[in-house]
């Protein structure tokens, strides 16, 4: 089993281009099922979730492979309409194949998806969206859908990212006009719309609460470059905030990071930015300040995925911060591990009170989920001494060589076999 050895206590300095966005490329890979010609995806990160998505495409009869940061998918041979339970359990995004599979094959047989243990991960909104498009959905030991999407009015009770994406993909592959009300507004939804329209779809409204899809426009092949990963960028900014120093990240849109940048600025960091880069500085001699309240919310609010990394940075500060997690029930599994590093954090349900301490210390810690793992690496670079971080199977789902990123910014991080 491999672990990361991270030696903290030194400021970070340097520049880095941020990897492509996991949460954009995963729905885009599922969307490739809707194309009738080969699709090339550029700026695709090398992640285990991407590997899992390519395996699902191949199991459905496509040819799909990754060379470096370029993925090629040829959906011509797609013929299957079922995804195995093992593949469904490999990640949450496996559920995103439901909409395009149904649109292409007229039927789909899946089981419930896996993914990070963040509390209940229901899919009722996904299934409700398909029913609104005239699809027959039966749930008994798995999900069995049949029918051809023929347009409809989808109204989401929550602005679910995945349900919005599944509804868009099903509608693109069907006929008629579909509107999605209370759609999620995340930048990854806009990236998906841009991808679909590049291949010939007619989708509009992404980024707002109402997305409209005009079906009946089959997707041709094409090429598309995925947006930068705003959560990886947020994690690296939190790392500089924790360790001190000066870092510039390119390949990511500042406006996608503004809630995170605002919190780190309130904590005492200096930030500069332009359209596709952001730079953050923190004098190592001046400790971070506490920030009154950090409340997660759907975009454009503070992203739930950045909660753990930012908490890790503020654990070593000279004040208190109250975190309120409004999206998931169980998103504080990194807290006990941060406390092993000397953090003083109390949780009660979806609320966490962080009482800053002057400095954390190294320890042996284990990631329990993807962003919690990113948080432990943030804490480690700001801590005195060495941290041994295990649970890399979670971290490698969303961070392409986290040790490389930290080392490129002047950190001391290496992967070893334990
Ligand atoms: C996406 O998950 C992201 N994953 C998550 O990132 C992210 O935390 C989340 O959106 C919120 O921004 C990907 O894009 C692959 P949701 P998703 O549907 O689509 C409830 C990471 O670390 N809900 O927007 O699963 C749900 O329980 C991951 O990269 C229902 O009730 O999130 C949650 O409380 C973690 N019924 C809320 O909605 C449903 O049918 C938001 O979930 C679907 C969701």
User: 244 in helix, strand or coil?
Assistant: coil
Residue 116 pLDDT exceeds 90: no
Mean pLDDT on 9-20? 96
User: 367 in helix, strand or coil?
Assistant: coil
| Distance (Å) from CA 55 to ligand 1 centroid | 22
Per-residue DSSP letter, 226: P
Confidence band for 119, pLDDT divided at 50, 70 and 90: confident
Q: For a pocket test of ligand 1, which of 21, 22, 23 has the largest count of ligand atoms closer than 8 A to its C-beta?
A: 23
User: 132 in helix, strand or coil?
Assistant: helix
Superfamily of domain 22-225: Enolpyruvate transferase domain (3.65.10.10)
| pLDDT attached to residue 29 | 98
* pLDDT tens track for 132-153: 999 999 998 899 999 999 999 9
Confidence band for 8, pLDDT divided at 50, 70 and 90: very high
Percent of the chain with pLDDT over 70: 100
Confidence band for 418, pLDDT divided at 50, 70 and 90: confident
Q: For a pocket test of ligand 1, which of 19, 25, 121, 131 has the largest count of ligand atoms closer than 8 A to its C-beta?
A: 121
Task: Check 62, 81, 116, 145 and give the catalytic one.
Answer: 116
The answer to whether residues 44 and 67 touch, using CB atoms and an 8 Å cutoff, is: no
Cβ neighbourhood burial of 417 (10 Å; 0-12, 13-18, 19+): exposed
| Distance (Å) from CA 371 to ligand 1 centroid | 13
Atom of ligand 1 nearest to the CA of 158: 38
Query: Where exactly are the structural domains of the chain?
Result: 2-18+228-417, 22-225
Tokens, residue 63: 């040819």
Residue 235 pLDDT exceeds 80: yes
Clarify whether 44 is annotated catalytic.
no
Residue 256 pLDDT exceeds 80: yes
Residue nearest to atom 17 of ligand 1 (CA): 162
| Distance (Å) from CA 116 to ligand 1 centroid | 10
User: 147 in helix, strand or coil?
Assistant: coil
Atom of ligand 1 nearest to the CA of 118: 35
| pLDDT attached to residue 126 | 97
Alpha-carbon gap, residue 63 to 12, rounded angstroms: 42
CA distance readout (Å), 54 to 51, 57, 66, 122, 405: 5, 5, 8, 24, 24
| pLDDT attached to residue 239 | 98
User: Which residues have any ligand 1 atom within 6 Å of their CB?
Assistant: 22-23, 26, 92-93, 116, 120-126, 158, 160-163, 184, 304-305, 327-328, 370-371, 398
Atom of ligand 1 nearest to the CA of 159: 24
Residue 115 pLDDT exceeds 80: no
Confidence band for 118, pLDDT divided at 50, 70 and 90: confident
| Distance (Å) from CA 318 to ligand 1 centroid | 33
Model-wide pTM > 0.95: yes
* pLDDT tens track for 78-91: 998 999 999 998 88
* pLDDT tens track for 205-219: 999 999 999 999 999
| Distance (Å) from CA 92 to ligand 1 centroid | 9
CA distance readout (Å), 14 to 245, 250, 316, 335: 9, 11, 22, 29
Alpha-carbon gap, residue 10 to 117, rounded angstroms: 33
Which of 77-81, 313-317, 344-348 has the lowest average pLDDT? 77-81
User: What class, spelled out in words, does domain 2-18+228-417 have in CATH?
Assistant: alpha beta
Question: What's the maximum distance between 2 C-alpha atoms anywhere in the chain?
Answer: 63
One DSSP character per residue, 309-361 reads HHHHHHTSBSSEEEEE--S-S---TTHHHHHHTT-EEEEETTEEEEE--S--B
| pLDDT attached to residue 97 | 97
Atom of ligand 1 nearest to the CA of 303: 12
Residue nearest to atom 7 of ligand 1 (CA): 305
Alpha-carbon gap, residue 221 to 253, rounded angstroms: 27
């Amino acid at each position: 089993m491999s672990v990361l050895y991270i030696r903290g206590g030194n400021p970070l300095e340097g520049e880095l281009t941020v990897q492509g966005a996991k949460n954009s490329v995963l729905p885009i890979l599922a969307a490739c099922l809707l194309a009738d010609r080969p699709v090339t995806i550029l700026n695709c990160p090398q992640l285990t979730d991407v590997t899992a998505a390519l395996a699902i495409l191949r199991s459905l009869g496509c040819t799909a492979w990754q060379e470096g940061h370029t993925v090629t998918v040829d959906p011509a041979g797609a013929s299957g309409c079922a995804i195995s339970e093992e593949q469904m359990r490999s990640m949450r995004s496996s559920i995103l194949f439901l909409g395009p599979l149904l649109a292409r094959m007229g039927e789909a047989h899946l089981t419930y998806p896996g993914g990070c243990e963040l509390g209940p991960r229901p899919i009722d909104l996904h299934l409700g969206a398909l029913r609104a498009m005239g699809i027959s959905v039966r749930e008994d030991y798995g999900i069995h859908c049949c029918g051809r999407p023929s347009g409809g009015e989808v109204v989401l009770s929550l602005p679910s990212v995945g349900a919005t994406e599944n509804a868009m993909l099903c509608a693109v592959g069907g006929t008629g006009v579909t509107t999605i009300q209370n759609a999620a507004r995340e930048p990854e939804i806009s990236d998906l719309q841009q991808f679909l329209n590049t291949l010939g779809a007619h989708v509009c409204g992404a980024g707002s609460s109402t997305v409209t899809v005009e079906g009946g426009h089959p997707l041709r092949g094409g090429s598309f470059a995925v947006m930068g990963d705003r959560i990886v960028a947020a994690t690296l900014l939190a790392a500089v905030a924790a360790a001190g120093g000066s870092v510039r990240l390119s390949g990511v849109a500042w406006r996608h990071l503004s809630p995170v940048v605002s919190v780190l600025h309130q904590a005492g960091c200096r930030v500069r930015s332009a359209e596709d880069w952001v730079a953050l500085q923190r004098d190592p001699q001046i400790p971070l300040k506490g920030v009154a309240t950090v409340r997660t919310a759907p975009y454009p609010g503070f992203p739930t995925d950045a909660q753990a990394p930012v908490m890790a940075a503020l654990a070593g500060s000279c004040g208190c911060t109250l975190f309120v997690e409004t999206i998931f029930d169980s998103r504080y599994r990194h807290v006990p591990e941060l406390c092993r590093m000397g953090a003083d954090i109390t949780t009660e349900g979806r609320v966490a009170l962080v009482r800053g301490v002057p400095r954390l210390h190294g320890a042996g810690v284990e990631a329990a989920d993807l962003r919690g793992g990113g948080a432990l690496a943030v804490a480690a670079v700001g801590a005195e001494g060495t941290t041994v971080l295990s649970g890399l199977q979670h971290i490698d789902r969303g961070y392409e060589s986290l040790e490389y990123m930290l080392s490129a910014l002047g950190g001391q991080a290496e992967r070893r076999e334990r």
